[in-house]
Copies of this chain bind each other. A is one copy, B any other.
Amino acid sequence: MGYSQADKAETHSRVVAIAAKRIREAGLDGVSIADLMEEAGLTHGGFYKHFASRDALVAEAVGVALTDGHFPSKREGRERTFAEFIKVYLSEAHRDNPGASCAFSALMNDISRAPEEARTLYTEEARRSLGRLSSMLAADNDSDRRAEAILALSAMVGALGLARAVSDTDLSDEILMTVSETLIRDLPA
């Protein structure tokens, strides 16, 4: 063979990784096969040696974008505290780097119009994220922790989205800072 199986697998995952980045930046409809393959250093014709269709690639890329997302609780070998996590999530650096950012926020609007497969992946990731968030909180009972996790998740994805949408940097910074401080102050962790 002209290329080994390892080469093929490497190409495949490279294309998926690029697609995951571009989907976070430009949405589910913002990625063309030609652009994608060019960014991977290939020509567009080879695409179908790796994926049955554009939809199949998108489904795979959504899965990757969601799971290597920004709701991990473990980093550098230890659990993150709630405050540490919120500060990173609602940072200017996270806002200004959509390609490597939280797909959970970036895809929120697109997913409601996406095929069932992608919506299912999104829903599962929502459950995981709520689980991780509630495990960082210190409220007395499960019910309170879950309610707080839902409020925190909503406020975080909303604040990140608003901070990106608004064209005034001062207002954008204020949104990030205010939601970050308010959540850290009001939710026991």
Q: Which chain A residues numbered 101 to 120 have a C-beta less than 8 Å away from chain B?
A: 106-113, 116, 119-120
Is A64's CB within 8 Å of the partner chain B?
no
Residue pair B162, A151 in contact (C-beta under 8 Å): no
**Main SS at interface, chain A:** helix
The proximity string for A residues 83-114 relative to B, scoring 1 for CB distances below 8 Å and 0 otherwise, is: 00000000000000010000000111111110
Q: Which of B27, B30, B148, B155 contacts A154 (CB 8 A)?
A: B155
**CA distance in complex: A168, B112 (Å):** 11
Minimum C-beta distance from A107 to chain B (A): 8
Is A68's CB within 8 Å of the partner chain B?
no
Is A81's CB within 8 Å of the partner chain B?
no
Is A9's CB within 8 Å of the partner chain B?
no
Of chain B, the residue at the smallest CB distance from A179 is B154
Residue pair A178, B109 in contact (C-beta under 8 Å): no
**CA distance in complex: A98, B113 (Å):** 11
Is A56's CB within 8 Å of the partner chain B?
no
Q: Which chain A residues numbered 151 to 182 have a C-beta less than 8 Å away from chain B?
A: 151, 153-159, 161-162, 164-168, 171, 174-175, 178-179, 181-182
Contact residues in B for A171 (Cβ distance below 8 Å): 123, 126-127
Is A150's CB within 8 Å of the partner chain B?
yes
Residue pair A26, B113 in contact (C-beta under 8 Å): yes
Is A138's CB within 8 Å of the partner chain B?
no
Q: 12 A–B contact pairs at CB < 8 A?
A: A27-B109, A27-B110, A107-B109, A108-B161, A109-B110, A122-B166, A151-B155, A154-B162, A154-B175, A155-B155, A157-B158, A161-B161
